[in-house]
Amino acid sequence: MAPMRPLTTNEGLAIVTFDPLSGNQINFVVVRNIVREFLEGHGVNHRAVLPCHLGQAYVCFVHAYDRDNMVRLSLM
């Protein structure tokens, strides 16, 4: 048994992927601006939008529940 609860890491992290994605390479500055504009338009606080090799960007949310809501809404 652990003597204390381990610190949480990456609880507010999500990977952004655009679908369908054009066959052309996308400049990350454009991706970051699109993601920021989308999040601000939905009133979602975020810490950072970072480059990602698994998708177009990592988004670091302030709260994990904001991440969960965005993921849930993306499936609809």
pLDDT confidence of residue 49: 95
pLDDT confidence of residue 61: 93
Is 3 domain-assigned? no
Distance of CA 5 to the CA centre of its chain: 26
Is 23 domain-assigned? yes
What domain range is 43 assigned to? 13-74
Number of domains in the chain: 1
pLDDT in tens, 22-68: 667 778 898 899 999 999 998 999 999 999 888 889 999 998 889 99
Is 7 domain-assigned? no
C-alpha distance across the termini of the chain, in Å: 40
Higher per-residue pLDDT: 11 or 52: 52
Rounded to an integer, what distance in angstroms lies between the CA atom of residue 71 and that of residue 74? 5
pLDDT for residue 69 is more than 80: yes
Higher per-residue pLDDT: 46 or 6: 46
Does the bond joining 51 to the residue before it have cis omega, within 30 degrees of 0? Answer: no
